[in-house]
């Protein structure tokens, strides 16, 4: 009898194994679909050359902007089919993982979105990129992109990528109606910020919306306090190791960061940045600190700049401009490098930069475009960018991979995640200090 | 995998024919032929890659540029010293224990209820089984919103004056300070356990139901004739016979819970203060977002060893059972 049972149990086990296998193949069905896209990007289907454009622009305004860009390109080059191969996930948290696997596996997309600065340089150092010096010469780009932005895309005296857009990372977006109802003015200093936050909190409104399910929005908040307390020059020296992380100003910014965390929404760990922006739209929260892709989100949701929402630089960073720059480069070993170069050339044109950035809520990397085509928010950002360029107070974003290597950023993100809950400043500083040994790499 | 095997089988047969082989009886010769492709594939794609991962975990490959110089146990020492990995181990232990307990008891309980020859039994059975047809990714997204403290189920619970924080809760109970972390059950994990149990209870229900159906009615009748009441029939006669099923369920659930990734990744992410982080999530972050390939490999090997501790004795036992 007993034997019968064990046979029976074994049968059930076998059945369940098969079931488990089925559910696995069901899961991989999704990735299978994207796998097909991968293939179509690299093979030449019929007469049309296919290019796979890899990015993480899948949300609201970003996706529309990319679509418009690809449409504009295909009108100009009807023989080339630019395929949208975007992978969802804010700040590219998922896309970068997919990209790393593909690049390591020798299956690069035709071109991919990358943040100028350290993130791009990891690919350059790994010998995975082809230089674009000639393309810059041919298109005469050296004069039209600001030198600082070209520097972000250059290493070892070669330039490696074409900047498509510039985002600003040090902006507070606020709900105008909520501010008016509570008699609060946009805060310019930390004192004003905390006074306003206190007032809002007393009236039952969440002062600051944060969505750090993926941790980078919290890291952005921290880097903005760093920029405020250190100023653009010292801030830049953090990433070269000239200013250590146990500098008193760093500790001071950690203290302020900690104080700010006292005014965020309770469910921050369950939200993405869009959800946090939605809290502001719904009037449940008053402000959110985000890059100006949030502006694209607000507009996509039918909000009007200056009427429904206002914006101001994060406290103490009025003179600075936290640059987040999306660029596209040419990986080595792609099948149709000439077609990719055509696409990259197109990205550098005034037409492409206006089409794309107008929808996305970012500003063109070129400084010679007609800014009358942009909305009131972008116009003001373009002006601030010009001013910051002249004062050389452009700062590179850490949270978005421009300031330091992905390895360092991962460690900082881990430290920030712990800090948001434990709020132990000394421990946080010592973790940053420990991670800073990775800065050179 | 299986379909690949059969496709390749034909190719290998022709290759094998050309080469010729040792004199074997026709039957054994065929058996070897049919097994060879899958053996080769498993050797390369399972054991070969496990070996490669192990090799990488002892190297200095912690950037995009492969650096396979020998680093000894550095990567292992490093991960065990991080707050995050210590949290992961804690979370894994508590998640595994509670998840398996819930799945076993709930599955057993529901199976006994369903075994009462009630009307519409197949409807109930299907209802309980349906969640299993979903991928963990779907479950994760759904429960992320159901248990979101500001929306979802709290909108109902609010009427009763109770609004739990679910997976955004950062409390750990009880919180003994061990190494860098607080040891105990992170309350945020309860939400994840609910979601995982929701998905997998149907499986254990099916196993137990099949087990119950396999017990001949004579056993119950005999017990009743001997004067046992219904409770005694279940606790003394039926349940002891379900032991092999329980064992099977535990082993199946164990390897799911020790390797869990997709549910966590879509539902909560690492969580504030890493209260819902798991080794697999850390491995993904370290390897593909931080480019710490060697550290990621070290985490993978630790996970493999943990699973092996439980699975290998089971395999040995079941082998003995066969012989």
Q: Which residues of B touch A128 (CB under 8 A)?
A: 64
Residue A100 and residue B288 in contact, taking contact as beta carbons nearer than 8 Å: yes
Single out the residue of A269, A281, A173 nearest to residue A212, CA to CA: A269
Question: Which residues between 197 and 226 in chain B have a beta carbon less than 8 angstroms from any beta carbon of chain A?
Answer: 203, 207, 210-211, 214
Q: Which residues of A touch B245 (CB under 8 A)?
A: 9, 12
Residue A13 has pLDDT above 60, yes or no: no
Query: Which positions ≥6 away from A244 have C-beta within 8 Å?
Result: A433, A436
Dump pLDDT digits (tens) for A156-167: 999 999 999 999
The token pair that represents B267 in the structure block? 């539902």
Residue A14 has pLDDT above 60, yes or no: no
Q: B269, B280, B321: which to substitute to probe chain A, counting the most A Cβ within 10 Å? A: B269
Q: A1, A8, A9: which to substitute to probe chain B, counting the most B Cβ within 10 Å? A: A9
Q: What's residue B173's pLDDT?
A: 87
Residue A89 has pLDDT above 80, yes or no: no
Helix intervals (H) in A264-403: 273-281, 293-300, 337-347, 350-360, 376-391
Query: Which positions ≥6 away from B24 have C-beta within 8 Å?
Result: B32
C-alpha–C-alpha distance, residues A298 and A61, integer Å: 9
Q: What's residue A30's pLDDT?
A: 36
| Strand A111-115 versus strand A321-331 pairing type | antiparallel
Q: Compare CB distances from B207 to A16, A267, A441 and report the shortest one's residue.
A: A16
Q: What's residue B23's pLDDT?
A: 62
The token pair that represents B85 in the structure block? 């990995």
b/e burial code for range A319-329 (CB count within 10 A of at least 16 → b): ebbbbbbbbbb
Q: Compare CB distances from A9 to B65, B245, B268 and report the shortest one's residue.
A: B245
Dump pLDDT digits (tens) for A383-426: 999 888 777 788 999 999 899 988 899 999 999 999 999 999 99
* CB contact B183 to A (< 8 Å): no
DSSP character at residue B60: -
Q: Which residues of A touch B63 (CB under 8 A)?
A: 122, 126, 405, 407, 441
Dump pLDDT digits (tens) for A125-177: 999 999 999 999 999 999 899 888 999 999 999 999 999 999 999 999 999 99
Are B273 and A417 in contact (CB < 8 Å)?
yes
Cis peptide preceding B120, ω within 30 of 0? no
Q: Which residues in chain B land under pLDDT 70? A: 1-24, 322-323
C-alpha–C-alpha distance, residues A334 and B216, integer Å: 66
The token pair that represents A124 in the structure block? 């350059």
| C-alpha dihedral sign at B271, B273, B277, B282 | positive
Closest alpha carbon within chain A to B266: A213
The token pair that represents A175 in the structure block? 């709900």
Q: Which residues of A touch B136 (CB under 8 A)?
A: 27
Q: How far is A269 from chain B (nearest CA, A)?
A: 6
| Strand A321-331 versus strand A154-155 pairing type | unpaired
Q: What's residue A195's pLDDT?
A: 96
Q: Which residues of A touch B284 (CB under 8 A)?
A: 97
* CB contact B297 to A (< 8 Å): no
Q: What ipTM describes this predicted complex?
A: 0.79
Report helix, strand or coil for A364: strand
Q: Compare CB distances from B286 to A13, A215, A410 and report the shortest one's residue.
A: A410
Confidence of residue A187 (pLDDT cuts 50, 70, 90): very high
Measure the CA dihedral B311/B312/B318/B323, to 10°. Answer: 170
Residue A1 has pLDDT above 90, yes or no: no
Please report the DSSP string for A232-246 in residue order.
HHHHHHHHHTSS-TT
Residue A43 has pLDDT above 50, yes or no: no
Are B211 and A12 in contact (CB < 8 Å)?
yes
Dump pLDDT digits (tens) for A44-67: 445 678 999 999 988 777 888 999
Dump pLDDT digits (tens) for A204-244: 999 999 999 889 999 999 999 999 999 999 999 999 999 99
Q: Compare CB distances from A406 to B136, B245, B289 and report the shortest one's residue.
A: B289
CB count within 10 Å of CB B162 equals 9
Place of tokens 């985002």: A167
Mean pLDDT of the A293-315 span: 91
Q: Which residues of B touch A32 (CB under 8 A)?
A: none
Q: Compare CB distances from A267 to B133, B150, B275 and report the shortest one's residue.
A: B150
Q: What's residue A90's pLDDT?
A: 63
Q: A10, A99, A213, A270: which to substitute to probe chain B, counting the most B Cβ within 10 Å? A: A270
Are B137 and A27 in contact (CB < 8 Å)?
yes
- The rounded mean pLDDT for chain A is 87
The token pair that represents A360 in the structure block? 């996305």
Dump pLDDT digits (tens) for A340-378: 999 999 999 999 999 999 888 889 999 888 888 888 999
Report helix, strand or coil for A235: helix
Q: Compare CB distances from B288 to A27, A97, A122 and report the shortest one's residue.
A: A97
Q: What's residue A25's pLDDT?
A: 38
b/e burial code for range A210-242 (CB count within 10 A of at least 16 → b): bbbbbbbbbbbbbbbbbbbbbbbebbbebbeee
The token pair that represents B96 in the structure block? 């595994």
Q: Where is A111: in which H helix or E strand?
A: strand A111-115
Are A410 and B203 in contact (CB < 8 Å)?
no
C-alpha–C-alpha distance, residues B39 and B50, integer Å: 15
Are A97 and B284 in contact (CB < 8 Å)?
yes
DSSP character at residue A207: E
Question: Which residues between 90 and 129 in chain B have a beta carbon less than 8 angstroms from any beta carbon of chain A?
Answer: none
Confidence of residue A7 (pLDDT cuts 50, 70, 90): low
Confidence of residue A23 (pLDDT cuts 50, 70, 90): very low
Helix intervals (H) in chain B: 2-19, 26-42, 49-57, 74-81, 83-114, 121-133, 136-146, 154-157, 188-214, 217-225, 230-232, 239-241, 243-258, 262-267, 279-284, 293-322
* CB contact B288 to A (< 8 Å): yes
Single out the residue of A379, A344, A312 nearest to residue A145, CA to CA: A344
Q: How far is A264 from chain B (nearest CA, A)?
A: 13
Report helix, strand or coil for A411: helix
């Amino acid at each position: 009898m007993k034997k019968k049972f064990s046979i029976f149990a074994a049968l059930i086990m076998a059945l369940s194994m098969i079931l488990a296998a089925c559910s696995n193949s069901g899961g991989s069905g999704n990735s299978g679909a994207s796998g097909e896209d991968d293939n179509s990007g690299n093979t030449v289907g019929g007469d049309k050359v296919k290019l796979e454009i890899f990015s993480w622009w899948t949300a609201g305004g970003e996706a529309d902007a990319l679509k418009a860009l690809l449409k504009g390109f295909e009108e100009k080059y009807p023989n080339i089919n630019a395929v949208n191969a975007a992978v969802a996930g804010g700040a590219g948290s998922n896309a970068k993982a997919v990209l790393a696997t593909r690049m390591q596996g020798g299956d690069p997309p035709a071109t991919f979105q990358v943040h100028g600065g350290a993130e791009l340089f990891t690919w350059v150092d790994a010998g995975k990129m082809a230089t674009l010096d000639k393309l810059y010469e041919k298109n005469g780009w050296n004069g039209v992109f600001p030198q600082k932005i070209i520097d972000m895309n250059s290493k070892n005296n070669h330039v490696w990528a074409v900047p498509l857009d510039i985002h600003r990372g040090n902006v507070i977006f606020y709900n105008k109606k909520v501010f008016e109802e509570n008699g609060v003015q946009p805060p310019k200093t930390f004192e004003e910020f905390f006074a306003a936050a206190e007032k809002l909190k007393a009236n039952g409104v969440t002062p600051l919306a944060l969505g750090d399910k993926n941790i980078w929005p919290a890291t952005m908040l921290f880097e903005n306090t760093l920029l405020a307390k250190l100023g653009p020059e010292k801030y830049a020296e953090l990433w070269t190791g000239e200013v250590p992380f146990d500098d008193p100003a760093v500790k001071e910014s950690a203290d302020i960061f900690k104080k700010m965390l006292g005014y965020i929404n309770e469910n921050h760990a369950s939200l993405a940045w869009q959800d946090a922006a939605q809290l502001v739209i719904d009037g449940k929260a008053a402000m959110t600190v985000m890059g100006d892709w949030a502006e694209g989100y607000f507009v996509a949701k039918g909000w009007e700049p200056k009427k429904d929402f206002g914006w101001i630089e994060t406290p103490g960073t009025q003179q600075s401009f936290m640059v987040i720059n999306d660029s596209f480069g040419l990986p080595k070993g792609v099948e149709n490098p000439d077609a990719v170069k055509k696409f990259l050339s197109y990205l550098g044109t005034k037409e492409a930069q206006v089409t794309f950035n107008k929808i996305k809520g970012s500003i063109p990397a070129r400084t010679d475009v007609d800014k009358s085509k942009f909305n009131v928010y972008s116009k003001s950002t373009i002006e601030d960018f010009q001013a910051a360029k002249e004062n050389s107070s452009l700062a590179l974003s850490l949270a978005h991979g421009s300031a330091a290597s992905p390895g360092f950023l991962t460690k900082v993100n881990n430290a920030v995640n712990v800090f948001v809950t434990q709020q132990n400043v000394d421990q946080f500083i010592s973790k940053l200090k420990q991670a800073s040994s990775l800065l050179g790499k | 995998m299986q379909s690949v095997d059969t496709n390749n089988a034909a190719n290998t047969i022709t290759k094998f024919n050309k080469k010729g082989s040792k004199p074997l009886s026709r039957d054994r010769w065929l058996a070897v032929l049919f097994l060879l492709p899958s053996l080769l594939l498993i050797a390369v794609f399972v054991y070969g890659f496990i070996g490669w991962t192990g090799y990488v975990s002892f190297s200095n490959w912690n950037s995009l540029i492969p650096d396979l110089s020998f680093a000894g146990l550095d990567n292992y020492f490093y991960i065990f010293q991080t707050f995050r990995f210590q949290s992961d181990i804690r979370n894994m232990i508590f998640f595994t224990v509670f998840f398996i307990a819930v799945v076993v008891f709930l599955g057993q309980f529901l199976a006994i209820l369903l075994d009462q020859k009630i009307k519409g039994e197949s409807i109930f059975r299907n209802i309980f089984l349906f969640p299993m047809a979903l991928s963990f990714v779907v479950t994760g997204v759904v429960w992320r919103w159901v248990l979101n403290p500001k929306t979802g189920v709290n909108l109902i619970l609010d009427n009763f004056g109770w609004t739990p924080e679910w997976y955004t809760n950062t409390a750990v109970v009880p919180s003994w300070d061990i190494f860098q972390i607080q040891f105990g059950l992170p309350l945020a994990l309860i939400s994840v356990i609910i979601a995982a149990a929701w998905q997998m209870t149907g499986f254990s229900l099916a196993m137990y139901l099949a087990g119950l159906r396999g017990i001949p009615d004579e056993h119950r009748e005999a017990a009743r004739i001997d004067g046992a009441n219904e409770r005694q029939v279940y606790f003394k006669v039926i349940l002891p016979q379900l032991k092999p099923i329980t064992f099977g369920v535990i082993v199946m659930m164990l390897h799911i819970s020790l390797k869990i990734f997709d549910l966590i990744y879509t539902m909560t992410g690492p969580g504030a203060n890493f209260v819902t982080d798991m080794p697999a999530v850390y491995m993904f972050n370290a390897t593909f977002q931080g480019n710490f390939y060697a550290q990621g490999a070290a985490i993978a090997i630790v996970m493999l060893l943990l699973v092996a501790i439980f699975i290998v004795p089971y395999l040995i036992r079941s082998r003995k059972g066969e012989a």
